[in-house]
Homo-oligomer: A and B are copies of this chain.
Amino acid sequence: MSAASVPGEHVAVRLVGSELAATLRARSAEVAAELAAGGTPPPKLAVVVATEDESSHAYVRSIARAAHKVGLACDIVDLGAGASTPEIQKTLTALGDDDDVHGTIVQTPLPPGVAAQDVVTSIDPAKDVDGANPSSLGRLATGLPAFAPATAEAVIALLDHHEIELAGKDVVVVGRSTVVGVPVAHLLLARDASVTVCHSRTADLAAHTRQADIVIVAAGRPELVTGDHIAARTVVVDVGTNPTDDGGLVGDVAAAQVGAIAGALTPVPGGVGPVTTALLLWHTVDAARAR
């Protein structure tokens, strides 16, 4: 008898991110303190912003606060919503040359007419703590050392933390973005999972997701994955963070429906999100330590 046939009785295990995020923050704080004890200046993250979008600014401020809490420096480099492609490229090149900066990220959205792919190639690969430069993705895909996009790595770290086996499992990734879907597929392949990448042009999404051991949803579409998409006992990771009209967040998974069927589900907020931020900081500390 499947959990799905007993409405109201089954509740998926909540794969919360808070505990892992706290562990990662503690590790960052520890290494930052060691570096400080050695007389080196604190690891510094530089965040380049070129938008007036208030939610982006709020997110960037939250990163800065989180950085400060673990003993990191964080510079917010606000170029304004009128910044051009060459201006952003020049700023990123300068940050690459700045020995005080250990990690660099570019916040989206970018100004109209500026394509992310035209600026991320200017991020110094050694400081590419969010794995945005295509060369980082290429190195990741070929097994060379590189920072993975923090969100993609957070998915794997969260599954590891909750002791969910990946080797030999059938994993369906919904979404093919270079920020999440594609890099998470590479990380899963490196962990011996069989990986299917589905997307908006997939003919029958549910036919894929219902047969998976693990479903990772990073489509950027509110509640795209419903109860009909998920078989009993499936592990579901929801990477979506879609703002709601009342100022809240909703994932790419219809949590109430899926939670009554799946074996485990990450909450939104409180699942992948906090781990992502903690990994960004950890990558910055790691980059500083590697100097």
* Chain A residues proximal to chain B, CB less than 8 Å: 117, 121, 133-139, 141-144, 167-170, 176, 178, 182, 185-186, 189, 192, 194-199, 201-203, 208
Contacts and interface: CB of A to CB of B under 8 A. Distances in A.
B194 A196 contact: yes
A198 to B, nearest CB: 5
B197 A189 contact: yes
A199 B170 CA distance: 11
A194 B189 contact: no
A222 to B, nearest CB: 22
Contacts of A203: 168-170, 194
Contacts of A136: 138
Nearest to A172: B196
A199 B171 CA distance: 13
Provide the main secondary structure of the chain A interface. mixed
Nearest to A198: B194
A133 B198 CA distance: 27
30 contacts: A117-B142, A117-B143, A134-B135, A134-B139, A134-B141, A134-B142, A135-B138, A136-B138, A137-B137, A137-B138, A137-B142, A138-B141, A141-B141, A167-B201, A168-B201, A168-B202, A168-B203, A170-B203, A170-B208, A182-B189, A185-B185, A185-B197, A192-B199, A194-B196, A194-B199, A194-B201, A194-B208, A195-B196, A196-B196, A196-B197
Contacts of A170: 203, 208
Contacts of A182: 141, 186, 189
Nearest to A213: B203
User: For A134, A203, A208, which residue has the most chain B Cβ atoms within 10 angstroms?
Assistant: A134
Q: Which 8 residue pairs spanning A and B have beta carbons closest together?
A: A138-B138, A134-B138, A196-B196, A192-B201, A137-B138, A194-B202, A134-B142, A135-B135
A104 to B, nearest CB: 17
Contact of A139 (B138, B144, B176): B138
A189 B143 CA distance: 21
Given A198-B194, A203-B194, A189 B176 contact: yes
